[in-house]
Homo-oligomer: A and B are copies of this chain.
């Protein structure tokens, strides 16, 4: 009885569910402490204390009808101003409240911008490896996902292939840096080249191509790496941000879109985003959490906790003989699957109670993703299994 479009999605989802159930079963057999689940990007680091303080302060002192009431579909005006100023202070931009739309996380923001922009069969380009949900977000609005094959040398985007695959139907390009699943940050050089290709192709086709920068991992960077702010390189940029990782609030569904005034057709795009936020049923981003993130605008989770996991895993796995790029951000390590078959390797890992995700899910077969947003004890506990795996494959 369900929608035809949903049939295969439901089937896929039961595959993922089966994986999850298998993990639960392993935990039942071997004990929770002996199962090493690196499959899900659910932050393990606690929100900064400012979040708790802000919630209690707001609930104790502010008017409940203001805190829990409706506001403009794009969010509270004062919250949007605070967010704009914070971006300006951090990145030297010149946004105002009207450039910010509060959204139900980054996933809500991406759905809203695609609803606003896409006509049937419009093309949206992604660089493999990429977050698999992009496929669904684009298909929700009958867009066509166009994949650029992975550059497995350094996981910077393959710009030669990119240039060739832009067509008159290309409406948007998604970049995700720091990247899920590789942890790679796209360099300023990459961004400049990518922007100049987009400029050239916009001229060639007489179209507007929007660069959608999905940035839930922006604050999770290591070794002082800089993540370029893309609106400064290309005017048709839309930034999608989320507090899911930066404040460890993934369940609260709070984030925002940045729509720069200088983008093509700004007034219509921002009006369309406002309407899309409403009619897709979000209505507005959760109200209390809007006020909370504005109060905690300078707060951030303790990235050092993820960094310790990163160093421990990277140093040991490479010493065991695994191949991977050292991640500069996010909380993922993307390793070459031993034996070359990512599904077979993920299954072999499961025999050591290690759960990892085949790279095929990210458009990059032959690799597996390790989500190290887990307790340090899980990282150290899994090392013996990872070492045994290498020996099995020798």
| A253 to B, closest residue via Cβ | B286
**Contact at A69–B251, with CB atoms within 8 Å?**
yes
Report chain B residues within 8 Å CB of A64.
Answer: 46-47, 51-52, 248
Q: For window 185-232 of chain A, which residues contact chain B by CB distance below 8 Å?
A: 208, 210
- Tell yes or no: A105 within 8 A of B by CB: yes
Interchain CA distance A271-B251 in the complex, whole Å: 20
Query: Is B65 a contact partner of A46 (Cβ separation < 8 A)?
Result: yes
Would A2 and B265 count as touching, CB distance under 8 A?
Answer: yes
Which residues in B have their C-beta under 8 angstroms from that of A252? 68, 286-288
Q: Is A59 an interface residue (CB 8 A)?
A: yes
Q: Which of A110-118, A145-153, A331-339 sits within the interface?
A: A110-118
Given A141-B3, A271-B10, A275-B13, A283:B55 Cβ within 8 A: no
Q: Would B116 and A3 count as touching, CB distance under 8 A?
A: yes
CA distance A112 to B56 in the complex (A): 32
Do B68 and A271 have beta carbons less than 8 Å apart? no
Q: Which residues of B contact A119 (CB under 8 A)?
A: 3-5
Query: How far is the CB of A340 from the nearest CB of chain B, in Å?
Result: 31
For this chain, the copies found in one complex come to: 2
Quick check: B52 and A59 within 8 Å, CB to CB? Answer: yes
A38: min CB distance to chain B, Å: 15
A6 contact set on B, CB distance < 8 A: 115-116, 272, 275-276
Does A28 sit at the interface, judged by CB under 8 A?
Answer: no
Since A2-B265, A65-B248 are in contact, a sample of 6 more A-B pairs with Cβ atoms closer than 8 Å, ordered by chain A residue number, is A1-B265, A1-B269, A6-B115, A6-B275, A69-B250, A108-B281
Partner-B contacts on A (CB < 8 A): 1-6, 9-10, 13-14, 40, 42-44, 46-47, 51-52, 55-56, 59-60, 64-65, 67-71, 104-105, 107-112, 115-119, 133, 136-137, 140-141, 208, 210, 248-253, 264-265, 268-269, 271-272, 274-276, 278-289
19 contacts between A and B (CB under 8 A): A1-B268, A2-B116, A2-B117, A3-B115, A5-B119, A6-B272, A6-B275, A14-B271, A43-B69, A52-B64, A68-B249, A105-B283, A107-B282, A111-B281, A115-B140, A133-B279, A140-B279, A251-B284, A253-B287
